[in-house]
């Protein structure tokens, strides 16, 4: 997204100093200290605003030029989510504690008098702004949002100048109308800043966000369609494929008649497998546990009970040539930002609570049912943000250094159930050559 407020939400996550807890949240709030990273960037950034038109009041014409603002500070951002209907959900974004210092050139003309000079304005920390985004879905029960709008195209801004200083020639002559002069300057500066804030907030609902939502929706909708027969019918492969295999490789083992073919040793092998993976054992905390959990802890998990995934396996989905595990790159008139995967960790692989394996449902097909208590994913990301280097950038940040932050996103899936079938095409002659000693 092409505006500064996109990265307020990014840095809302970056600024967290405690490990994330997977909780259901409907409102998020922060404070000035937690936006120190963002404010550190803005401390080196100067925003050049376009010259506003000349305004007139009571015979006084006032022109403001070279309006430039710096030292932007954001104290708080609140996000409030509202479910409106099956097709609409609202996200209210409110930014409070806006503070900034602005320099400008002023010039006035009043009857036969005129003057010009420099001015400086600072915002009151009571300044704020807000906007509402409406996320639309065809049906939230089954489909994600695909489009976002701004209801009534309205943005609320409350920009208040706390202090105004100006100097130059001709001030003494208009001392009698100094209040009028000052109020006009306040009106112009407050109006231009309010316009800038609303334009940036409005960009949250621009076409690029629609494109992102559409891309995510398209990826998800693939999995929301009715399953084709080759997935929904557990015997599809057996019915449609195995005849050709049998003709080429010889007779296959029919699991419906396995005891006739192999005697009791198959049943014993299954009992051994169940004893290894499914039978209850006493865990460290004295509670009954499944053997598969103990096996996973001893062979796959580290001392923290976590399994690490190579980030390159995920970042490869974002780019074919991705040596730095980058998943996001953005460069607009305000900032240049990259985000990359640092690590991916999974907890809960040792929380199996039920195993029901190798149940024969066809001549060559077995069904398996797995149930887990939970899976928690920890995705560690590194974000690097620097001032824009585009020639069209409207900020001056030659002294700004890149800011790098590492933060973690955590989410948990509870009560997981996996039901799947396996097609086992075993040649009868091959089965007869299997050495049984190691199996039993």
In this predicted structure, the answer to whether residue 344 has a pLDDT above a threshold of 90 is: yes
**Banded pLDDT at 204 (limits 50, 70, 90):** low
Mean pLDDT of 340-345: 92
pLDDT value, residue 302: 92
220 or 416, greater pLDDT: 416
Torsion angle in degrees (nearest 10) through CA of 434, 435, 437, 440: -10
φ/ψ of residue 435, rounded to 5: -80, 125
In our burial notation (b when 16+ CB lie closer than 10 A, e otherwise), range 24-59 reads eeeeeebeeebbebbbebbebbbbebeebeeeeeee
Q: Where are the beta strands (DSSP E) in 348-434?
A: 352-360, 365-387, 395-396, 403-423
3-state secondary structure of 284: coil
Sole residue written with tokens 């499944």:
290
In this predicted structure, the answer to whether residue 431 has a pLDDT above a threshold of 70 is: no
pLDDT value, residue 226: 79
**Banded pLDDT at 349 (limits 50, 70, 90):** very high
Instruction: Read off the pTM.
Output: 0.58
386's CB contacts (< 8 A; 6+ apart) are: 335, 336, 337, 400, 401, 402, 403
pLDDT value, residue 430: 66
Mean pLDDT of 271-283: 61
- Residue 85 DSSP label: S
Sole residue written with tokens 């198959």:
266
CB 123 within 8 A of CB 161: yes
The distance of Cα 305 from the centroid of its chain, to the nearest Å, equals 26
Q: Residues 100-155: pLDDT tens digits?
A: 888 998 888 877 878 888 888 899 889 999 988 898 888 888 788 888 888 876 78
Over pLDDT 90: what percentage of the chain?
10
Euclidean distance between CA atoms 360 and 383, whole angstroms:
50
pLDDT value, residue 260: 65
In this predicted structure, the answer to whether residue 15 has a pLDDT above a threshold of 50 is: no
Lowest mean pLDDT among 84-88, 109-113, 184-188, 400-404: 400-404
pLDDT value, residue 348: 93
pLDDT, averaged across the chain: 76
In this predicted structure, the answer to whether residue 69 has a pLDDT above a threshold of 70 is: yes
Q: Which long-range contacts (CB under 8 A, 24 or more apart) does 79-83 make?
A: 79/9, 79/27, 79/28, 80/26, 80/27, 81/26, 81/27, 83/140
pLDDT value, residue 433: 62
290 or 224, greater pLDDT: 290
Lowest mean pLDDT among 13-22, 254-263, 311-320, 332-341: 13-22
Bridge pairing between strands 306-309 and 335-347:
antiparallel
In this predicted structure, the answer to whether residue 31 has a pLDDT above a threshold of 60 is: no
316's CB contacts (< 8 A; 6+ apart) are: 322
The Cβ of residue 295 has, within 10 Å, a number of other Cβ atoms equal to: 14
327 or 299, greater pLDDT: 299
**Banded pLDDT at 414 (limits 50, 70, 90):** very high
pLDDT value, residue 17: 33
In this predicted structure, the answer to whether residue 5 has a pLDDT above a threshold of 50 is: no
**Per-residue tokens: 332:** 């607009």
CB 295 within 8 A of CB 277: yes
């Amino acid at each position: 997204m092409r505006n500064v407020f996109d990265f307020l939400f990014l840095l809302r996550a970056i600024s967290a100093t405690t490990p994330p807890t997977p909780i259901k949240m409907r409102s998020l709030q922060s404070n000035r200290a937690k936006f120190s990273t963002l404010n550190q960037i803005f401390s080196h950034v100067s925003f050049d605003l376009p010259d506003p038109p000349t305004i007139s009041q009571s015979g006084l014409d006032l022109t403001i030029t070279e309006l430039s603002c710096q030292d932007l500070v954001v104290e708080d951002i609140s996000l409030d989510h509202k479910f409106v209907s099956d097709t609409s959900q609202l996200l209210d974004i409110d930014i409070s504690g806006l503070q900034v210092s602005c320099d400008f050139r002023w010039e006035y003309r009043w009857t036969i008098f005129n003057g010009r000079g420099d001015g400086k304005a600072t915002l009151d920390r009571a300044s704020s702004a807000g906007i509402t985004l409406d996320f639309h879905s065809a049906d939230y029960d089954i489909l994600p949002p695909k489009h976002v709008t701004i209801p009534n195209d309205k943005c609320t801004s409350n920009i208040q100048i706390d202090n105004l200083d100006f100097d130059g020639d001709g001030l003494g002559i208009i001392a009698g109308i100094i209040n009028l002069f000052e109020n006009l300057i306040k009106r112009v500066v407050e109006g231009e800043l309010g316009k800038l804030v609303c334009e940036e907030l409005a960009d949250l609902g621009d076409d690029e966000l629609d494109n992102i939502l559409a891309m995510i929706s398209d990826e998800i909708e693939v999995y929301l369609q009715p399953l084709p027969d080759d997935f929904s019918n557990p015997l599809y492969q057996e019915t449609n494929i195995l005849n050709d295999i049998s003709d080429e490789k010889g007779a296959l083992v029919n699991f419906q008649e396995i005891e006739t073919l192999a005697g009791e040793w198959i049943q014993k092998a299954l009992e051994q497998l169940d004893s290894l993976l499914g039978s209850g054992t006493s865990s460290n905390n004295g509670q009954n546990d499944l053997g598969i959990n103990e096996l996973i802890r001893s062979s796959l998990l580290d001392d923290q009970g976590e399994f690490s995934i190579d980030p390159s396996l995920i970042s490869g989905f974002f780019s074919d040539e991705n040596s730095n595990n980058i998943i996001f790159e953005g460069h607009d008139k305000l900032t240049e930002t990259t985000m990359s995967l640092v690590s991916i960790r999974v907890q809960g692989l040792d929380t199996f609570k039920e195993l029901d394996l190798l149940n024969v449902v066809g001549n060559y097909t077995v069904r398996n049912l797995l149930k887990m208590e939970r899976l928690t994913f920890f995705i560690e990301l590194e974000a690097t943000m620097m001032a824009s280097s585009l020639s069209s950038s409207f900020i001056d940040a030659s002294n700004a250094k890149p800011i790098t932050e590492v933060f973690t996103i955590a989410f948990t899936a509870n009560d997981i159930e996996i039901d799947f079938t396996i097609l086992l095409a075993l040649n009868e002659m091959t089965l007869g050559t299997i050495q049984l000693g190691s199996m039993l």
